[in-house]
Structure 1
C-alpha cells in the first residue's frame, strides 16, 4: 500500500490494532501526526567506548560480539547474554524477554547502551538498550549517534516510535509536499522540509538538529505571519468613520473621577484617540495588568464615540461579567447623558439603540441587524472571540467599526507579537494611586486552620466591613484528583466561621442564582463567599479584601493572579493566601512556583514566569482559540518572526497556495 501524508497510522507496516490505540493516546492518528511528533530532547550515544572503559565508568555505549545466549525459566524468564570485545567480556541480563534467544545470533556485532547496577559487591547489567551494529552511523536507528527521545505513553517507548518513523522516513520525499520551492529555500538558506523532518528524527550531529529546527520553526512562524499580514492587508482596504477628539467632554469626565489617571492610562488613551481620529479602522489591544484601570480607558473611548454621534458595543465573555460591566458603566456615566443597554438574549432589537452603549455577550452575534451608527466595538478578552466573529460587525454601508480589545490576563510583549501581531498594542502596567499592592503569603497546609482564624478575626475586627473569598479547584470530590472541593469543605467552613454568613458559588448554579449571590455579596449580606474559578475574571466587589486559595498548586500562576485580582479593588489593604495541597513537598517545583507568586505582584512578571513553565496553550487558553501552538518554534524568537513576516508580505503578492499547504501541515 502506498502511503501519503494523510494515511491512517494503522496503514504503516508493523502497527497493529493495539499499537494504533497507543499512538492515538499521543494524538497520533495519521502519517503526518507521526512525522511531526518531534523529540523533546536528544541522547548522545555517538561516543562508543571499549568494555574496559565501560567497566571503569559504570555506564556508556559500547560495541560487543555475541558469544553465548541462554534463557532460564524460573519465577522470571531470564535471558543471559555473554558478550566480548578484543580484550574484555561482560554478562548482560534481560528479564521476561525470551524472544531475545532468537534475536541475538552468535558472533554478530551489537551496539549496547547500559548502566552497571551495584548491589553490595555484586555488579550487574540489566535490560540494556541494544541495536545490531551496521558499520555506518547513518544506518543506525537507535544507538551509536544522537537519538531522539519522544513524548511517550505507557506501552509505547521512544524506541518503538523511532522505529515506526524510520519506516516512513525512508520514502518521505514521495508524499511530503514542501510549501516552498527550490528558489525560495535557497534564498532563505534553510533545509528542504523533507531534509528537516529526516534530520529532526535521525540527526548525524547537533548541527543537523539545529538546521532542522530552524526550518520547522520558520514554517510554524510563517503560518502565523501569513495570518497577520492577511489581516493587515484586509484592514488597509477597510474604512471606518473618523472621529473628532471631544476634549471638553473628556476633560470634564476625567475631572469627575475620584482618582487621577496614571501615566500609562494617559498614554494608552492618547494612542486610542489618535487611532479613532483616522479613517483606517483602529485594531488595538489594551494589554493591562489586573486592576490597572483598563475599564476607565475604555469608558473614555466610548464617551468620545457617543459624543461624536455614534453607537458602541461592548462584548463580554459571560452574562455575569456583562451585567457587572452594565453596573460599572452606569456609575461611570451617571453624570452624563449616555444610555447603557444590556443585551444577553437574542430577542432584543438592538438596531434601534442608536447613539448608545450596548453591552452584551455572544447573543449580540445572533442579532439580524445592528445599529446603523455603530462605530466602536470593545471586546473584553480577545481569545474568547475569533476573527470571523469580529467580521460580523462590518456595516452594510461598507464601513467597519473601530476595534478595541481588552485582555483579562496581562500578556508578555514576547507573546503579543506572535498571537496578536495584527493589532497595535497599548500597555498599562501602573496601578491607580488609590490601589495598594495585595499582600500575598505562601501558607503551608499545616497552617490552614491558623489562616482561617486570622480571616475570621479580620472580618469581625472590621465590624463586618471586610469580606473574603475562599477558592477551591473542584465543586465536588473527584476519584481522579486528590483535591479539596466546595462540597466536601462547606460544612467544615460553616463551623469554622460560625457567626458569619458563609455561602457558596459555582458554575453549575443557574445564572439567576449566581447573580443573586453576587448581589448579596456586593451588599455585604454575605461575609465569606466560597467559590470555584467562576469568579476568576472581572468580578468587582470593592469590600472584598481577603482571598484564600486552597490547593493553589492546582492552578497556573496566570490564573492565580486573576483570582488575586478579585480583591484589592479599592483603597483598602488587601490580602491573598495561597495554600498548597498537603501532598506538595518542600522545595518541589509546585512550592517554588507558589513562592514566586507570593513574592511578585506584577501580572506581567507572573505571566512570563508561567509562560516559561507551562507554555502559552495552558496559560492563555489558546488551545480553544484557533491560534496555533508551536511544536518547535520559540515564541520569544522575534528575529524569526520578523523574517517570516517579511517573507509573508512578499509571498502574498506571489503565491497564495503556500498558505493552504502550511495549514494542512500544521493544523
Structure 2
C-alpha cells in the first residue's frame, strides 16, 4: 500500500507485458481466472489503542518524527500518532521517495503487523500511502506474480479484463453442479454464476469468512472448480471420440493351419511359467482392442513384478503374426536392455522360421551397429524394435509399424509419445498404443486425467513371489546394516545399496554412491562390491550388471538407475540410504527389485533426522506408508494424498497443470458431476461444450490427446 504510483513508463509497461506472457496471461479470460493468493483488509481503520499485538491492522496517523539512524545498521525510523496512541515504523530498505512521503506532519494510512516491545509499539516495513479518499468497499486482492509485474499493475489489468471478458454461462440448462449454497439475510442464497463467482473472488466483501476463501470451500470457489473439472472431462471425452474416428491396422492371429501351432500358442508353450488369471484377462482386453480398426489407447497398470512385460510380449506376437511391426520404448538404457534380453529369449525361436528379428536401438550404439539396425527396421525384417528415446529419432523409418508399447509411460513427454505415434504414416493409419505403468493410478486420477484411456489392471502377483519385510532404521545404526549384508552374502544372497547422489553436493549433506562404494568395499573384505550410476560409460554399466546378474558380484551400490526393470531373483536385501529424500512411488519401485525369488527378502530404509533430531512430516508419512503396506495400489493412494497429482502424471501435460483450482481428494462429488455431464453436453450442446473447453483450456487441450 505505498503511495499510488504515476502511470508506468513505456519501458515499465513493456516489462509488465513480458511478465504477463511469462505467467501465460494472454487473453482476457486468462486474467479473469488469475485468482488471488490472499487478501488484505483495507476496508477499515483501527485506532492504535484497539490494535492487538501480533495482528495486521490499518491505522491512520500523523508523522511526528522521521530520521535515518546509522546504528546498529542504517535504517529509517518514523514515529507516528493518532488520537489514541503512538507507534514506531522501521525500514531497513528505503529510498528518498519514502523519506519524502514519511516527512514530519504527513498524514498517512499505514498497514502492517503491530508488535509490542520494551520501547513501545512497532511496525517493521509496513505498507503506507498518503491518507485521504474513501476506504475500499472490498478486500484488496494479492495475486501470484513474477519480477517486473507489480501488484498495482496486475490489479488494474485484471479489473480491466473482467470488464471485457466473455463470462456468459456455458453450462447446459438444468445442469447445475452440486455446489454448497449459503444462507444469507433472505434465506438460501442463489447459486453463483461464473461471472458472479469471479467478480466476488477478485473483490470479496469484508464480511466474508476468510477461511472459506483460503480453503476454497466458498460457493464462488466451488463454482469455479466445477467448471474447471467439466472442461477437463469435456476435453478427455472429445479426445476419445476423435480417436474413435481414426483408423488403425486390424491385428488378429491368422487362421489356424492344420498341424501348425499359432504363433501365440508357440510363444506360450516355450515360456517357463504359465500366465496368471489377471494376465490372461488383460491379454484378452488388449487383443480385443487390437482386433478393431480403431487405434487402441490403453494403459496397462500393475504392481512391481506383476508380469506386465510378458503381456506386452504376447501383444507384440499378435501384431507380428498379423504381418506388422511393433516398437517397445523404455525410459532408461538399463530397462530397455532388460526388455531386449527377455524378449529375445522369448521370441527368437518363434521368429527365426519367419525370417524375422528383434532389433535394438540406443543412443550409445556404435555407428555401424546402428546403421545395421536402421536397415533391418526399414526393410521390415526387424519385426520388433526395442530401445530408448532413440526409437523415435527422425532417421528411424519403420516399414509398417502397427503397435507402440511405452513402458513407464509417465517418464516420457507428450512430444515423445506423439512422435512414436507419427511413425506410422502409412495409408492414413494410426498405430495402436499400449502404455505400461508400475505406479498404479488411483481412482480419482483415472476418473480425471486418464478419463480418455482404457485401463487394464493386473491385480495379482505371479506365484513364488515372497513378501518383502520393510524395516525403518536410523542412519546411526549403519554398522548393524553392514553386518546384515555380510550375513546375506555369506548365505549366497546378493544385496542392493541405493544412494540418492553420485557426487558430493554442497547443497545436500548426503552420502554419495562413490564414497559408499569405497566404504562397503573396505567393510566387506573378500566380497565383490560393484558401482553403478548413470554417468558411467554404457559398456561399463553393462559389464557391472552382467556380473551382478550372474551372481559373481555380491553387493551392488547404485543410484536410482536400477529403479525399474532390473530382475535378479537371487537379490534378497535392498538398502536405501537417505530414504527420507525419495518419493513414495520411487521407494516402492526400488523395494520391488528384491523378493523376486524364493528366499525371504527385506528392504531397509536408512533415514537421517534433521538438526532438530526429527524427521519432516512428509518424509515420516512416506516411510510409515512403506512400513505398513506392500500393496502398490495403497501406496499410490497415499502418494496422491501426500504429493498431489503432479508427479503421477509425469510429462503428460508437458508441465502445464490442467487443474489449478480443483482438488481431486476433496472435490470427488464435483468430479462425478462433471463425468456425468460431459458426454451429455457433447451430444446435446456441442457449441456450448466447445466454448467451455476453449475458455478453460485454450491450447492446452491438445496435451491430453497424447
Is the structural similarity TM-score above 0.5?
A: yes
The Cα offsets for residues 438-473 of structure 1, whole Å up to 9 and x where unpaired, read as 22222212112221221122112x13xx22222222
Q: CA 1:653 to 1:96, structure 2 compared with 1: closer, same or farther past 3 Å?
A: closer
Post-superposition shift, 1:361?
Answer: 3.3
The 2-side partners of 1:626 and 1:78 are apart by 44
* Cα gap change, 1:506 to 1:277, in 2 (>3 Å): same
Partner of 1:287: 301
Whether 2:526 is the aligned partner of 1:537: answer no
Check 1:200–1:340 CA distance in 2 against 1; reply closer, same or farther (3 A cut).
farther
CA distance in 1 between counterparts of 2:518 and 2:20 reads 40
Is the counterpart of residue 612 in structure 1 residue 641 in structure 2? yes
1:406 to partner: Cα distance: 0.7
Contact 1:195–1:212, Cα closer than 8 Å, also in 2: no
- Indicate if the aligned counterparts of 1:312 and 1:357 stay in contact, CA closer than 8 A: yes
Q: CA deviation at 1:65?
A: 3.8
Please, which of 436, 457, 461 is the counterpart of residue 431 of structure 1? 461
SS in 1 for 2:375: coil
Residues 532 and 557 in structure 2, CA contact (< 8 A), matched pair in contact too: yes
- For structure 1, the 5+ residue unaligned runs are 1-10, 142-146
Mapping 1:540-619, distance limit 5 Å? 540-583=567-610, 585-589=613-617, 590-619=619-648
Q: Equivalents in 1 of 2:46, 2:255: separation in Å?
A: 79
- Give the secondary structure class of the aligned counterpart of 1:273: helix
- Alignment partner of 1:548: what SS? strand
Q: Does 1:138 align with 2:168?
A: no
Q: Report the more deviating stretch, 487-496 or 622-631.
A: 622-631
Spell out the pairing of 1:411-560 with structure 2 (5 A cutoff). 411-460=441-490, 462-463=491-492, 466-560=493-587
Give, in whole Å, the separation in 2 of the partners of 1:555 and 1:41: 32
**Residue 662 of structure 1: CA displacement?**
5.0
* 1:277-426 correspondence runs (5 A): 277-333=291-347, 336=350, 340-344=357-361, 345=370, 347-353=374-380, 356-365=383-392, 366=394, 369-372=397-400, 374-383=401-410, 384=412, 386=414, 387-394=417-424, 396-426=426-456
Matches within 5 A, 1:157-176: 162-173=151-162
CA change 1:407–1:41 in 2 (3 A) is farther
Q: Of 71, 77, 84, which residue of structure 2 is paired with 1:79? A: 77
Q: Does the 8 A contact of 1:191 with 1:215 survive in 2?
A: no
Aligned counterparts of 1:287 and 1:311: Cα–Cα separation in 2 = 23
Alpha-carbon offset, residue 285 of structure 1: 0.7
* 1:133–1:600 distance in 2 versus 1, CA, 3 Å: farther
Q: Give the TM-score normalised by the residue count of structure 1.
A: 0.80
CA 1:242–1:18 in structure 2 vs 1: closer, same or farther (change >3 Å)?
closer
1:138-192 Cα deviation digits (max 9, x unpaired)? 3552xxxxx5575889xx9xxx954342232231246x654x6556598876978
Distance 1:658 1:12 in 2: 36
| Counterpart-to-counterpart distance in 2, 1:553 and 1:377 | 36
In structure 2, what is the Cα distance between the partners aligned to 1:394 and 1:181? 43
* Cα distance in 2, alignment partners of residues 478 and 238 from structure 1: 52
SS of the counterpart of 1:341? strand
Q: CA contact under 8 A between 2:494 and 2:555: conserved in structure 1?
A: yes
Paired with 1:517 and 1:414, the residues of 2 have a C-alpha distance of 41
Does the C-alpha gap of structure 1 residues 575 and 35 become closer, same or farther in structure 2, counting only changes over 3 Å?
A: farther
Counterpart of 1:127? 124
How many angstroms does 1:100 deviate by?
6.3
| Residues in 2 aligned to 1:177 and 1:551: alpha-carbon distance in whole angstroms | 51
Who is 1:225 aligned against?
A: 234
Q: Are the counterparts in 1 of residues 470 and 627 from structure 2 also a CA contact under 8 Å? A: yes
The separation in 2 between residues aligned to 1:18 and 1:641, in whole angstroms, is 40
CA contact (8 A) 1:305 1:376 kept: yes
**C-alpha contact (below 8 Å) 1:298/1:378 kept by paired residues:** yes
- SS at the partner of 1:278? coil
Give the structure 1 partner of residue 204 of structure 2.
203
Structure 2 unpaired stretches of 5+: 1-5, 177-190, 362-369, 702-706
Give the paired residue count.
Answer: 634
Normalising by structure 2, we get a TM-score of 0.76
Q: Deviations over 1:494-541 (max 9, x none)?
A: 212222111211111222222222112111222222222222222222
